[in-house]
Amino acid sequence: MDLSTNYLGKRLPHPLIVGAGPLGDDPDTVRALEDAGAAMIVLRSLYEEEVTQEQMSEFVNVEGFSDSFPEATSFAPESSLSLGPDEYLQHLRLIKDAVDIPVMASLNGMTRGGWLEYARLLEEAGADGLELHVYHAASDMTMSAADVERQAIDIVKEVKGSLHIPVAVKLAPLLTAFAHFAKSLDEVGADGLVLFTRFHRIDIDADELEVVRTLPLSDSSELPLRLRGTAALAGRIKASIAITGGVHTGLDVIKSTMAGAHGTQLVSALLRHGPDHLRTVRREIESWMREHEWESLNEMRGNMSLGRLPDPAAYERANFRMALR
């Protein structure tokens, strides 16, 4: 049975990738993930603010994540690793030395500027690829959708111009004209698109008058939004597509592949169950394929993408009308 895939120009034995986050913090954990069969790992992000020293990182330093989901603590480092720019480069070298699988670095930011030079340093430090997480605060009233997109496209263009390693762009789901934006990123040379980032859950503590931010682990119910985005792009762009968000089971990987994904990233599932869960997911994929008589993921990939379905509105509004009938 052939589970191989081609992601960012690299042939991987299967699509199971460890997504950006704390799983790449500790070399022993990374080795355990490699032993369990991870095809690739993405390290946590280095944030623009960390490079420019203005403020500390959203995910890592403002709040530890483990309080948000205590069940994850056994598989994640005791305390959140705080990596400044130089430490990040050292850490990347350490992880590269520890394993043979491709190691992607991750940069998160939204403005053009000196911090982008870090992309080149990450390449020099041995990163096999770069995941660029372009994030924009949606509460900014001074920038139009076109401005926001232009800024992200310019960043990707600039980074692509200075690197030889592949660059994947991790996108947020809340975009006005998602497919058009994705196509523009494709046209300026993004090697991959990663759909979609997950936001912190924001709530209000009405008694304490406080904004409460948590980052709970996902479950498979987050996957359909990603399937829809992937199905809209598959076969219509040159860039490879990875799904991040809600990939927990073998069936989630099968559905992602049918939508057209070349890679599937796991974070929550591995934080919850540990590195061995990769073996379980792989077994689930194989037994589903055996049962349904599929020989390879490549022949399945994109068979449920928008371009391959007879009804072009299958993922669209018509569906909603039908559901209400």
- Cβ at position 53, least distance to ligand FMN in Å: 18
Decide if 60 contacts 81 (C-beta within 8 A). Answer: yes
User: DSSP letter at 316?
Assistant: S
Q: Please state the φ and ψ torsions of residue 148, each to the nearest 5 degrees.
A: -60, -45
Which residues contribute to the site for ligand FMN (CB under 6 A)?
19-22, 44-45, 59, 65, 106, 108, 133, 170, 197-198, 215, 218, 222, 244-247, 266-269
Q: Which residues contact 211 (CB under 8 A, 6 or more apart)?
A: 202, 203, 204, 205
Task: Using the minimum distance from each CB to ligand FMN, give the nearer residue, 199 or 312.
Answer: 199
Give me 9's structure tokens.
Answer: 């120009």
The beta strand positions in 20-64, using DSSP E, are: 40-47
Helix (H, G, I), strand (E, B) or coil at 254: helix
Task: Using the minimum distance from each CB to ligand FMN, give the nearer residue, 89 or 266.
Answer: 266
- Cβ at position 207, least distance to ligand FMN in Å: 27
Task: Using the minimum distance from each CB to ligand FMN, give the nearer residue, 168 or 294.
Answer: 168
Buried b / exposed e across 120-156, counting CB within 10 Å, b at 16+? ebbbebebbbbbbbbbbeeeeeeeeeeebbebbbebb
Give me 123's structure tokens.
Answer: 């390449």
- Cβ at position 248, least distance to ligand FMN in Å: 7
Task: Using the minimum distance from each CB to ligand FMN, give the nearer residue, 12 or 294.
Answer: 12
Task: Using the minimum distance from each CB to ligand FMN, give the nearer residue, 51 or 294.
Answer: 51
- Cβ at position 317, least distance to ligand FMN in Å: 26
Task: Using the minimum distance from each CB to ligand FMN, give the nearer residue, 133 or 301.
Answer: 133
Q: Which residues contact 232 (CB under 8 A, 6 or more apart)?
A: 178, 179, 182, 305, 306, 315
Give me 278's structure tokens.
Answer: 């990769």
- Cβ at position 225, least distance to ligand FMN in Å: 11
- Cβ at position 68, least distance to ligand FMN in Å: 8
Amino acid symbol at 221: S
- Cβ at position 197, least distance to ligand FMN in Å: 6
Task: Using the minimum distance from each CB to ligand FMN, give the nearer residue, 21 or 294.
Answer: 21
234: left (phi over 0), alpha (psi -120 to 50) or beta: beta
- Cβ at position 299, least distance to ligand FMN in Å: 26
The beta strand positions in 128-232, using DSSP E, are: 129-134, 167-171, 192-195, 201-205, 210-214
Task: Using the minimum distance from each CB to ligand FMN, give the nearer residue, 239 or 253.
Answer: 253
Query: Could you give the C-alpha distances from 7 to 130, 151, 167, 301, in angstroms and in order?
Result: 13, 26, 11, 12
